[in-house]
């Protein structure tokens, strides 16, 4: 069986070529850096994401809790639970993300997006990741949790620290330990406060949530808040950043977005398919299993290569073309599939839509100040590290 190195490609087209080779292998492939098995075809990815009996999300939790770190609430979140526990936890939290919860957020997201767009357009020459792409999801998560805005600046350090856990070097251990400690302290205080005095925010909803006589314990609430902060911020930052890059590089898309707001959701859906902010998911073989003729021993790490599946020619026509409004355009794998399907998918779409609406309605031109994009150096996540642009006001 062929082994591929996911960290070897230096450009997007090299990476896509690697994915194409992998999809043409008869079964699964082996990949470095993890020595994992990897599913790269759309259909195989669906199986890995949907069949929890064969491909467990539970076993990967250990990676978020190495011995040098100690207890990490994120390792115990619903993301790393299989049914039946996952089903119970999801039932308890999903109401907060239903249509009523989203409707409650809509005006806040719109107002935040407008204010941030106003500020960056006024600056004209500006780095957009830190001033726009990141601030919108950060402020929305902060609002969602009912946190005091004075704690928002800590979010970035917390999330980057948590994202480092799997690859951390000993010099980084103390920084990560203290970020987890601070998060536990601040989230613990929020939970205690909402238990004492519930309000109209999501944490209060979660405190009150009850399904079949069962409620969330403090530990479960804490794990869920860790999950929201880490799952919802960086991914949405990259979605907005990747969207801005496509708007700047494709003037006809920029003009269409300015002329007709209804084009923006179709455009975002194609950015999601073409440039998935999260490139892969992890599972572990629960027993000796077989997929597409490949035997995978129990305990092996299995990757679902979302980004490769989104380019599968068996499902998407001309997959390497960027075609908003394409047939099956919403069937991409970017938000996962099956029981762990992203709980924040509609929120992420809403944030990206309002961000782009607010931006394009204020400018007549969007220029990247450097033709080369500096991507974040992480094969699991995909988005610009910095985005210097010039915004020409309308």
Strand order in the sheet with 125-127: 125-127, 388-393, 363-368
Tell me which DSSP letter residue 60 carries.
Answer: G
Instruction: Name the minimum Å distance from CB 171 to ligand HEM.
Output: 29
| Dihedral of the alpha carbons of 194, 200, 202, 205, in degrees to the nearest 10 | 70
Instruction: Name the minimum Å distance from CB 319 to ligand HEM.
Output: 18
CB 306 within 8 A of CB 50: no
Nearer to ligand HEM, 187 or 343 (CB): 343
Nearer to ligand HEM, 23 or 81 (CB): 81
Instruction: Name the minimum Å distance from CB 301 to ligand HEM.
Output: 13
Whole-angstrom Cα distance, residue 248 to residue 58?
41
Nearer to ligand HEM, 102 or 175 (CB): 102
Strand order in the sheet with 29-32: 3-5, 29-32, 36-39, 301-304, 281-285, 55-56
> Kind and range of the H or E element at 346?
helix 345-360
Instruction: Name the minimum Å distance from CB 391 to ligand HEM.
Output: 23
Whole-angstrom Cα distance, residue 23 to residue 312?
8
- Residues that bind ligand HEM in the complex, under the rule CB under 6 A: 49, 57, 78-79, 90, 141, 227-228, 231-232, 235-236, 239, 277-278, 281, 334-336, 340, 342-344, 347-348
Nearer to ligand HEM, 111 or 122 (CB): 111
Instruction: Name the minimum Å distance from CB 182 to ligand HEM.
Output: 20
Nearer to ligand HEM, 232 or 324 (CB): 232
Any residues with CB less than 8 A from the CB of 314 and at least 6 apart, and which?
Answer: 41, 42, 43
Determine the residue with CB nearest ligand HEM: 344
Instruction: Name the minimum Å distance from CB 124 to ligand HEM.
Output: 28
Whole-angstrom Cα distance, residue 250 to residue 245?
9
Tell me which residue of 383, 374, 260 sits closest to 324, measured CA to CA.
260
Nearer to ligand HEM, 301 or 363 (CB): 301
- CA angle, corner 278, sides to 284 and 165, nearest 5? 65
Nearer to ligand HEM, 116 or 121 (CB): 116
Instruction: Name the minimum Å distance from CB 55 to ligand HEM.
Output: 10
């Amino acid at each position: 069986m062929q082994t591929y190195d996911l960290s070897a490609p230096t450009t997007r087209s090299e990476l896509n070529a690697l994915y194409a080779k992998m999809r043409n292998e008869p079964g699964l492939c082996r990949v470095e850096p993890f020595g994992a098995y990897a599913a790269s075809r759309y259909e195989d990815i669906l199986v890995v994401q949907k069949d929890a009996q064969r491909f467990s999300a539970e076993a990967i939790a250990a990676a978020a809790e190495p011995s040098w770190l100690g207890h990490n609430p994120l390792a115990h979140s619903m993301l790393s639970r299989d049914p039946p526990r996952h089903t119970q936890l999801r039932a308890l939290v999903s109401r907060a993300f239903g249509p009523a919860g989203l409707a409650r957020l809509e005006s806040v997201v719109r107002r935040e997006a407008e204010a941030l767009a106003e500020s960056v357009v006024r600056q004209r020459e500006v780095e957009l990741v830190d001033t726009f792409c990141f601030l919108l999801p950060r402020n929305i998560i902060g609002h969602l949790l009912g946190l005091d805005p004075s704690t928002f600046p800590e979010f970035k350090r917390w999330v980057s620290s948590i994202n480092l856990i799997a690859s951390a070097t000993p010099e980084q251990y103390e920084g990560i330990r203290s970020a987890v400690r601070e998060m536990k302290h601040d989230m613990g205080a929020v939970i205690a406060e909402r238990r004492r005095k519930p309000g109209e925010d999501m944490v209060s909803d979660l405190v009150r949530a009850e399904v079949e006589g069962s409620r969330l314990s403090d530990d479960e609430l804490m794990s869920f808040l860790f999950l929201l902060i880490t799952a919802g911020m960086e991914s949405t930052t990259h979605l907005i950043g990747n969207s801005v890059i496509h708007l700047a590089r494709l003037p006809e898309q920029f003009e269409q977005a300015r002329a007709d707001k209804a084009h923006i959701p179709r455009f975002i859906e194609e950015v999601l398919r073409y440039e998935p902010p999260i490139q892969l998911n992890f599972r572990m073989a629960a027993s000796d299993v077989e997929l597409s003729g490949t035997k995978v021993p129990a305990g092996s790490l299995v990757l679902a290569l979302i980004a490769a599946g989104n380019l599968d020619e068996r499902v998407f026509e001309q997959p390497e073309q960027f075609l908003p409004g394409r047939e099956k355009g919403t069937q991409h794998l970017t938000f996962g599939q099956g029981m762990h399907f992203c709980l924040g998918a509609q929120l992420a779409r809403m944030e990206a839509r309002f961000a782009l609406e607010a931006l394009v309605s204020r400018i007549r031109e969007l220029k990247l100040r450097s033709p080369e994009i500096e991507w974040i150096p992480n094969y699991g996540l995909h988005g610009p590290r910095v985005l210097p642009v010039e915004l020409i006001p309308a």
